[in-house]
Structure 1
Amino acid sequence: MTTLSRPADSYSPLYFLASLGAGGLSVTFFMWLFMWVPHAGIPVPTFEHIWAALTTGGPLQQGMILLAWAGIATFVFLNLKYLIWNLRSFARFRKTQAFETLRNSNAETTITAMPLAMAMSINGLFVAGLAFVPGLWSIVEYLFPLAMVAFGLVGLLALNIIGDFLARVLTKGGVFDMTANNSFAQLLPAFALSMVGVGFAAPAAMSHNTVTVGIALVLSTFFSVAAAVYMIVAAITAFNSMLHHGTAKESGPTLMVIVPIMTILAITFLRQSHGLHATFEVHGTPAETMIFLSRLLTIQVIFLLLGGLVLRRQGYFADFVLGSRTSPGSYALVCPGVALSVMLQFWLNKGLVAAGVVDKFSVAFWVVSAIAVVAQFLMIALVFRLNRQHFGKGNQPLAVPAE
C-alpha cells in the first residue's frame, strides 16, 4: 500500500539541523538586545535591563525590543519542537536496517548532528531565560554548574559517537570511502565539539566564582581545541577528495560549515578573554580583539564565496531550495547565514567600536548592522521555506510495508 508522505518521513539525522538552525536564529535576535540594550555591570542583558529599556526608551527602541522578544520566543519554540521530533524519529530510526547501513558508512558522522542540536538547545534556553525570566541573574551562580553538567553529558555523547566512528575506520582498512568524501560533511563532528565548547565558555565569562570560571575555561578549551584539530584534518582530506572527484551536489552546503565553526570559536575566545580579564586580571586590548575577529571573518568570507560559487555552478539552489527536489542537507545552508550575522555583530561592536574605529550608532555602524540584519532575515525566510518543503504535506507516495 502507499500513503502520502512528507520528505522528512524518510528520516536522516541531518534533520537535527532543522532544530539547530531555529536555535541559531533565536540567538540572532538576542544579539539585538545584547548589543543595543544598556546592561552596565553585567556581561549580558537580563529581563530587568530589557524591561527598563522598553518602558523608558523611544518608539524605535521599543519596537526593536518587542520584535527581538517575538523572534526569541518563536525560534526557541521551533528549536525545541524540532529537537523533540528528531529525538523521537531517531529512536525509531535506530531500530531499522537503514540505521545499521548508516553506521557502517561515511555518513555515520551525521549522528553528531544530535549532540550539536542538543547543545544549541541548551544555549537557546539560556538566552530565553535571560530575555524573559525576572530575577534569573540572582540565581545564575547555581545554574552555571547545572549547565556545565548538561554540556558535559552532551560532550560525552559527541565524543562517544566520534570515537565509535574513528575506531571503526582507523582499525579496519578500506571501510572509509574516500571517493564519497568529496564534501565537508566530515566536519560535522568538529561543529558539534565547538558548540559544546562555546557552551562551557559561558560560565567562564559570566560567573564570579573562581572555581567555576577555572573549570569552564579548561573544559571550553578542551572541546574548542579538539574541534579545531578535527576540522583541520577533516578539511584537508575532504578537499583532496573534492579535487579528484568534484563536490557531491547534495552535500554542497557543507562547503560553508567552516563559517559557523569560526563564529563559535570566536565567541568562545571572547568569553574566555572576558573571564580571564574579570577573574584572573589577564588583560587584552580592543585592537587585538578587532584583528582576531577580522581574521576569522576573513576565513568566513573566503568559504562563503567558495561555497556560493560551487552551489551556483551546480544549480543547487534551483534544485533543492527553489525547486521540487529535497535534501535534509539543505538545512546546512542556514548555519552560515546565521553565523555571519552573529559574527558581524561581534566584529562591529566588540572589534570596530571597542577599538574606536567606528562610533556606536553612527552611519557606518548602522550600515554594518544592516548587513547583519539582512543576513538574519534571509535565513528566516530560508528556514520557513525549508520547513514547508520538508515538513509540510507531501505529494510523493511512500511505500509502507504490510504489517
Structure 2
Amino acid sequence: MATPQTKAADTYSPLYFLASLGAGGVTVSFFMFLMFWVPHAGRPVPIFEDIMAAFNTGDLPMRTAIVIAMAGIAYFAFTNLRLLAWNLSAFSAFKKTEGYQNLITSNAESTILAMPLAMAMTVNGLFIVGLVFVPGLWGVVEYLFPLALIAFALIGVQAFMLIGRFLGRVLSKGGVFDVTAHNSFAQLLPAFAVSMVAVGFSAPAAMSTNPATVGVSLVLSTFLGVIAIIYTMLAAASAISSMLQHGTAREASPTLMIIIPIVTVLGIMFLRQNHGLHTTLEVHGSDGETMIFLTRLLAIQLGFLGLGAVVLKAQGYFADFVVGSKTSPGSYALICPAVALSVMIHFFVNKGLVASGLIAKFDVAYWSISGLAILSQIVAIVLIIRLGRQHFGHQTAVAIPAE
C-alpha cells in the first residue's frame, strides 16, 4: 500500500481507522501459520526459539511457510502502525473542522469507535511481533502481561467514554437518533471495539502461569465480552427493523458482515478463557465440545457472509466501490470479515477437527479446508492493496461518506 496522500485526508472519516485494523488482522492471519504448523510443546503459542528450531530442522515446505509467515507479519505489522499513525494525525486535524461537528451530532458519531478498535488491534499485533522476532521474550513475559492489561484498560476506558457520549446524547431525548439512517450494521462498531479489547484482556488467561494474572484476565475479559454480546444483539435487532423498512444503506452495506469479525474475536476470547480455566483452575472441557463450539461460530459467520454477499451483489457495490472508480471509507469494512473468516477456519480445523480426531493433521482433508482459510486471507490482502490505491492514490475519484 502506498503512503497515504491528501486524497483520503480531504474527505476524512474515522472509518479509515479500519485500514489500520485490516492490516493488523492480516498480521494475525499470518501468525496462524506459525501457531498451528510450528511445534511449540509446553507453550500455548510459538515463540522465536520454536520458530528457529522448526526452520533449522524442518523440510522445505516448513521453511517456506515460516519465511512467508514472518515476512507477512513484519510487513503488515509495519503497515498497521503506519496507518494508525496517519489516522491519529488526520483525526486530530479533522476534529478542528465543521465536518467533525456534524459527525458528532449524527448517527455516524459511533464511527469514532473505529479508533480504539484499531488501537486494540495494534497492541495485539505488537505482542505477536514480540513473540515471533524477539529472542528470550518468554522469559520475561509474566512482567509484560500486567503492562498489556493496563494498555487494554486505557483503550477500554476511551472506548466506553466514546460510547457513553454517543448513547448519552441519543438516549437522553427523542428525535436525536435518525432511525431511517440506521439501515445497516454500522452501529455494531462499538460492540466490535469492546470485543477487541475483551480478547486482548483474555490473552494472559491463556498464557500466564500466575493465578492472580489469570484471574484478572478472566474477570475483565468476561465483563467486556458480555457487554459486547449484549450491544451486538440490541444494535443488530434494531438495525434489521430499519433495513426491512428502508432497505440497506448502499455505502454502509459492507457492515452486514461485521458480525463475522465480532464472532471470531469473541470466539478466540472464549478459547483463551477455557485454556486458563483448564491450566490454572482445573476446569476441564473436551476437544469434542470445542469442535462443536467452533462449528456453531463458523455457521453464524457463513450465514452473515451469505447475507452480505447477496445484498452487496444486488446493490452492485463491488462494481462501484471496489473495482470501480468510486470511493467510500466504508469499503474498508470488507477486509475484516475476510481476515476473521480465515482465522476462524484455522481454529476450526486445528482446535476442532484435528484435536477431536476427526481428521489427521496435514492430510488431504486438512489442506483442503485450510486452503479455504488461505484463500480468504488472500482476498483480504488483495482488498488492502486495491483499496489503498483507490483511497490513498493520486487519481481522482468520487468520495461518498458512509455511516
1:97 is displaced (CA, Å) by: 1.2
Alignment match, 1:393? 394
Answer whether contact 2:25 2:336 (CA < 8 A) is retained: yes
Alignment match, 1:11? 12
Mean CA deviation greater in 29-38 or 92-101:
92-101
Alignment match, 1:163? 164
What do the CA deviations read for 1:326-372 (whole angstroms, capped 9, x no partner)? 00100000000000000000001001111111111111001011010
Alignment match, 2:198? 197
1:18 is displaced (CA, Å) by: 0.2
The residue identity in structure 1 corresponding to 2:111 is T
The residue identity in structure 2 corresponding to 1:154 is I
The residue identity in structure 2 corresponding to 1:209 is N
Alignment match, 2:154? 153
The residue identity in structure 2 corresponding to 1:306 is L
Alpha-carbon distance in structure 2 between the residues aligned to 1:89 and 1:65: 36
Alpha-carbon distance in structure 1 between the residues aligned to 2:329 and 2:397: 16
Alignment match, 1:367? 368
Matched, 1:141 2:122: no
1:392 is displaced (CA, Å) by: 1.1
Alignment match, 2:120? 119
What do the CA deviations read for 1:163-195 (whole angstroms, capped 9, x no partner)? 000000110211000000000000000000000
Alpha-carbon distance in structure 2 between the residues aligned to 1:240 and 1:378: 31
The alignment partner of 2:356 has SS state of coil
Alpha-carbon distance in structure 2 between the residues aligned to 1:283 and 1:69: 33
Alpha-carbon distance in structure 2 between the residues aligned to 1:276 and 1:5: 49
1:395 is displaced (CA, Å) by: 2.7
Alignment match, 1:32? 33
Alignment match, 1:81? 82
The alignment partner of 1:41 has SS state of coil
Unaligned runs of 5+ in 2: none
Alpha-carbon distance in structure 2 between the residues aligned to 1:126 and 1:374: 25
Alignment match, 1:320? 321
Alignment match, 1:130? 131
The alignment partner of 2:34 has SS state of helix
Answer whether contact 2:191 2:229 (CA < 8 A) is retained: yes
Alpha-carbon distance in structure 1 between the residues aligned to 2:391 and 2:398: 14
The residue identity in structure 2 corresponding to 1:382 is L
What do the CA deviations read for 1:255-277 (whole angstroms, capped 9, x no partner)? 00000000001100000000000
Alignment match, 1:69? 70
Answer whether contact 1:19 1:83 (CA < 8 A) is retained: yes
The alignment partner of 1:108 has SS state of helix
The residue identity in structure 2 corresponding to 1:275 is G
Answer whether contact 1:5 1:396 (CA < 8 A) is retained: no
The residue identity in structure 2 corresponding to 1:372 is A
Answer whether contact 1:14 1:113 (CA < 8 A) is retained: yes
Alignment match, 2:213? 212
Unaligned runs of 5+ in 1: 399-403
Answer whether contact 1:16 1:113 (CA < 8 A) is retained: yes
Alpha-carbon distance in structure 2 between the residues aligned to 1:7 and 1:265: 31
Alignment match, 1:297? 298
Answer whether contact 2:27 2:125 (CA < 8 A) is retained: yes
Alpha-carbon distance in structure 1 between the residues aligned to 2:88 and 2:395: 22
Answer whether contact 1:7 1:389 (CA < 8 A) is retained: no
The alignment partner of 1:6 has SS state of helix
Alignment match, 1:353? 354
Alignment match, 1:105? 106
TM-score (norm 2): 0.97
Alpha-carbon distance in structure 2 between the residues aligned to 1:393 and 1:133: 38
Alignment match, 1:226? 227
Answer whether contact 1:5 1:395 (CA < 8 A) is retained: no
Alpha-carbon distance in structure 1 between the residues aligned to 2:6 and 2:85: 20
Answer whether contact 1:5 1:397 (CA < 8 A) is retained: no
The residue identity in structure 2 corresponding to 1:204 is A
The residue identity in structure 2 corresponding to 1:329 is G
The residue identity in structure 1 corresponding to 2:207 is M
Alpha-carbon distance in structure 2 between the residues aligned to 1:179 and 1:132: 49
Answer whether contact 1:20 1:116 (CA < 8 A) is retained: yes
Alpha-carbon distance in structure 2 between the residues aligned to 1:54 and 1:9: 46
Alignment match, 1:401? none
Q: 1:5 to 1:205 in 2, by over 3 A?
A: closer
TM-score (norm 1): 0.97
Alpha-carbon distance in structure 2 between the residues aligned to 1:397 and 1:170: 34
1:86 is displaced (CA, Å) by: 0.3
Runs of 4+ residues deviating >2 angstroms: 394-398
Alpha-carbon distance in structure 1 between the residues aligned to 2:92 and 2:125: 23
The residue identity in structure 2 corresponding to 1:39 is H
The alignment partner of 1:377 has SS state of helix
1:5 is displaced (CA, Å) by: 5.0
Answer whether contact 2:258 2:333 (CA < 8 A) is retained: yes
RMSD across aligned positions (CA): 1.1
Q: Identical aligned pairs, as a percentage?
A: 63
Alpha-carbon distance in structure 2 between the residues aligned to 1:371 and 1:46: 26
What do the CA deviations read for 1:24-51 (whole angstroms, capped 9, x no partner)? 0000000000000000000000000000
Aligned pairs for 1:264-275 within 5 A: 264-275=265-276
What do the CA deviations read for 1:183-231 (whole angstroms, capped 9, x no partner)? 0000000000000000000001000000000000000001111100000
